[in-house]
Each structure stands twice: as C-alpha cells, then as structure tokens.
Amino acid sequence: MIPKATWILGGLGDNAKTIDTIRWMSYKDAQGGDPKELATKVTSYTLTDDDRGRYIGIEITPTTQTGTPNVGTALHLYDISTASGGGSDSDNVAPGPVVNQNLKVAIFVDGTSINLINGSTPIELGKTYVAKLYSDENKNGKFDAGTDADVTANYDFRWVLSGSSQQLGTSGGIVNSSFDNNNLAIPATNDEARTNLNGPARDGKEALTIPTNGDGVQGYKLHIIYKHK
C-alpha cells in the first residue's frame, strides 16, 4: 500500500495562487532538520521508498490575487502525521516518520557477523555487543553491507536484559543509561556486571537489579528497545 498525503485548501479565495507556493518536504526529524524538497505546486504527494524513516512536511504561503496584503505569513509544517505538526490525530496515519517496513534489528559480538537476535547463544562475560538497525533492502533477513542501509544513527536505543538469571531467577531489566546508543561492554565478572549495568526503571522497563553474589548476566536474553529520533 502506498499512502497518499493531500493538502485541501479551504476558503473562497483564489487558491490557485496559494497552490503555486506549495513545497512538499521531508526532514530527518520533527524540527525540520536536513530538509529535502519532494514536490512543488501540487496539492498531493505520493510517498516513495526514499521517504522511509523521514518526516513529511509542507511549506505553504497563503496568497491571493487581490487584497491588502495579498501574501500571508509562510507556514512551515515539519510533521503532518500529527495535529501539532499540521496534520491530524484522528486519521489512520501513524504519528512520526514514514514507516520503514524493511527495518530490522541485529545484535553482534563486536568483530563478528553472526546475528544473535532470536538465537540461543548465552551472553558472554568480557565481550562487547553491538546493536545495528538496518533497512533490509533485499529482504533476506540479514545485514548485507553494500546492499542494506545502516540506519542505526537515526534511532535512539536502550539495552535490555530480559528473562531471568540462570540460577537465582532474578528478573531482568533495562541497562543503565551510560550505554544508551552505544556498544554494550559486558564486564569479566558478575560483581562488575552488577556495578556497571544496574540502573533504574525507565522507558516502560523495570529496573535492572543484579544482586551481590548473584548470577550476573548469566541466563538473561539480550535485546534493545528503540525509537526514531
């Protein structure tokens, strides 16, 4: 399905003059960063693959053939997926950037290429883990350098230890914020893991509370939560 965004001009004036000022734009964020012109002088724009992960906006200057003044204040709408951005909260358009249906997540041990997502490999002490978000352009379920687009920089992500520890059954939780948007270094000892990784509850996830003399990271599953910047 290809969604279509349409700007409907109201009023009884000379809308043709206003139409000539329309610029459909895309941005990397909802504040108008990295603007790219998509189309001009048209009242609708059909999304393309290049718009995935981008915010769609519009620039328009109300203009009439008559009146004093006949040129109004230019409007810059940076995210028409929401009412606050110039769109609507009651339509069937998801808020935020254009959804990338090919978005995938991979977690690797640094220096390797094996995706550990949904695998059974236990978390290893003394290893560094790398998270990657990518657009699976050839839809083969794995990251192919040179073919797939690495879009990790477009997202904020958090590390989470899910499930329970191996022996004591201690519930997992979200890793402290020092590792947000960064590689996750698992310490060499369980006690160091408690000191370095524990953190408070946030972003809808429970606090990570690895106990003293506990299992450390053993038994947990590793994943991330993320959202577009």
- CA-wise closest residue to 221 among 104, 123, 109: 123
* Residue, of 152 and 18, whose pLDDT is higher: 152
| Domain count along the chain | 2
Within this chain, do residues 113 and 220 fall inside the same structural domain, yes or no?
A: yes
Is residue 95 domain-resident?
no
126-139 burial, b if ≥16 CB within 10 A, otherwise e? eeebebbbbbbeee
Within this chain, do residues 190 and 116 fall inside the same structural domain, yes or no?
A: yes
- Do the Cβ atoms of 102 and 139 come closer than 8 Å? yes
* Residue, of 108 and 167, whose pLDDT is higher: 108
Is residue 84 domain-resident?
no
Structural domain span for residue 42: 4-77
Within this chain, do residues 136 and 194 fall inside the same structural domain, yes or no?
A: yes
Q: List alpha helices for 51-180, DSSP H.
A: none
List own/partner pairs for 134-142 with CB under 8 A and 24 or more apart: 134/103, 134/104, 134/106, 135/52, 135/53, 135/100, 135/102, 135/103, 135/104, 136/102, 136/103, 136/104, 137/102, 139/102, 141/104, 142/106, 142/115
Within this chain, do residues 59 and 128 fall inside the same structural domain, yes or no?
A: no
Residue 44 has pLDDT above 80, yes or no: yes
Segment 191-217, tens digit of pLDDT: 899 999 999 999 999 999 998 877 888
Residue 222 has pLDDT above 60, yes or no: yes
Residues 186, 84: Cα–Cα separation, whole Å: 42
Within this chain, do residues 128 and 19 fall inside the same structural domain, yes or no?
A: no
For the ranges 22-26, 50-54, 110-114, 177-181, the lowest mean pLDDT is seen at 50-54
Q: Does the pTM of the predicted model rise above 0.75? A: no
Phi, psi values for residue 28, rounded to 5°:
-80, -15
Is residue 40 domain-resident?
yes
Within this chain, do residues 57 and 111 fall inside the same structural domain, yes or no?
A: no
